[in-house]
Amino acid sequence: MIIWHEIYERLKSAPSDYEYDLKPLKVNTHIHSPYSFSSFDSIEAIVEQAGREGVSVIGINDFNTMNGYDEWAEKTISNRLFPLFNIEMIGLDSNMMAAGIRINDPDNPGRAYISGKALSYPVSLPGDDQKRLRRILELSNHRIALMTDKLNVLLDTIEPGMAVNYNEMVADHTKGMVSERHLARAIRIKAEKRFKDNSSRTGFMIKLVGEGYRNINTGNDAEIENYIRSGLLKSGRPAFIREDPEIFMEPVAIKDLIIAAGGIPTYPFLADFNDGMYTDFESDISRAAEKLKQYGFFSVEFIPGRNDYARFREYAMYLYNDGFIVTFGTEHNAPGTKPVEVIAGENYPLDDDLLKINYEGASILAAHQYLNSLRGEGYLNGNGIPKRERKDEFVTLGNSIIRMVNNTK
């Protein structure tokens, strides 16, 4: 466990060793662990790959849960990586939904993905908020249990006696939270065990998900799982069940929960998708920035690997110059392998400006997390407003803390 008081004492005795070197370090502030769904099998695997790639700051960003925090703290600190403790939730703005306005979900008007960055650790969350998170997790898992039942009826009509055992899936493939992606993986594994040769397995999968299965790379597990999910589990597909409305909080309520947990509410930009398209909310960056500030969001993030480099850079620079904390991540919340180091577009390394922005943002988050965990207030004041006039102080402090943990100068 991180002992913030130990860092405090070390900073008092040797601050000059760290505070003047502001050369940007590699940062990934948004990565999902197996405590929600991850392309990695373990937190240890995430940390090891980050270390090999020279990433110095890394943030866990699981959906609706903080259950991975203790293991995250242990594995990152022991490997000299600075840990950020984050969370991600899905909100639903009822007014925007009624108006048909897409926020950062391109398919569902009113739905908003929201991150909380740099939460207090050890976790400090009021009891009512803890109950709400547990309730969301219970409802989310119950939905997948119902989808499993629906899927098993279909499986039995195609291959009598074949079924996915929900409890076994939870025990074997999750850390307590189960998702559509876990179910897709369980189907793939079940098919591989049932049909030993590729020909019979292909025949079964065509009956299950359609002729398009012939066109995918059957040697790529991630491609198979993505195809199963899109063919069986998404809206309009045979095993789909709509989420219970209680799963979704209003975005302002999520913002308040994040602040109560000591974190900084952060808006994840989808930015350009599908060859330059934008959602209704994000299409005008200046208007979106003003709206975010009105809603109490002064921190934003991007997953640059899914964006066009030039468009992503334009948005990131605009928001940084407008005073937002701006950070980048990779998600890793889908099957498949990719770097932990943040890249943009197809394979563009971050340029010097983007590296600076990302590291500066991570330094503010690190300082906020440290001060809030130690003293009860960090970069945000008691009303959730950032102390922008003291930004440089937070960058300097965060840089010192990060380098102390990394033992990197």
Query: Domain map of the chain by residue range?
Result: 4-9+23-124+261-306+321-378, 133-233
Bridge partners of residue 266, in order along the sequence: 115, 299
Residue 285 exposure: Cα atoms within 13 Å on the Cβ side: 18
pLDDT band at 15 (very low <50, low <70, confident <90, very high): low
Flag whether pLDDT at 408 surpasses 60.
no
Residue 254 has what pLDDT? Answer: 97
When mean pLDDT is compared across 29-43, 180-194, 395-409, the lowest value belongs to 395-409
pLDDT band at 4 (very low <50, low <70, confident <90, very high): confident
What integer is the mean pLDDT of 307-327?
A: 97
Rounded to two decimals, the pTM is 0.94
pLDDT band at 337 (very low <50, low <70, confident <90, very high): confident
Give the integer Cα–Cα distance in Å for 162 and 191: 9
Per-residue pLDDT reduced to its tens digit, 16-29: 556 666 789 999 99
- Write down the mean pLDDT value for the chain: 93
Per-residue pLDDT reduced to its tens digit, 59-112: 999 999 999 999 999 999 999 999 999 999 999 999 999 999 999 999 999 999
CATH among 3.40.50.300, 1.10.10.10, 3.20.20.140, 3.10.290.10 for 4-9+23-124+261-306+321-378: 3.20.20.140
pLDDT band at 174 (very low <50, low <70, confident <90, very high): very high
Residue 13 has what pLDDT? Answer: 66
3 state SS for the chain: CCCHHHHHHHHHHCHHHCCCCCCCCEEEEEECCCCCCCCCCCHHHHHHHHHHCCEEEEEEEEECCCCCHHHHHHHHHHCCCEEEEEEEEEEECHHHHHHCCCCCCCCCCCEEEEEEECCCCCCCCCHHHHHHHHHHHHHHHHHHHHHHHHHHHHHHHHCCCCCCCHHHHHHHHCCCCCCHHHHHHHHHHHHHHHCCCHHHHHHHHHHHHCHHHHHCCCCCHHHHHHHHHHHHHCCCCCCCCCCCHHHCECHHHHHHHHHHCCCEEEEEECCCECCCECCCCCCCHHHHHHHHHHHCCCEEEECHHHCCHHHHHHHHHHHHHCCCEEEECCECCCCCCCCCCCEECCCEECCHHHHHHHHHHHHHHHHHHHHHHHHCCCCECCCCCECHHHHHHHHHHHHHHHHHHHCCC
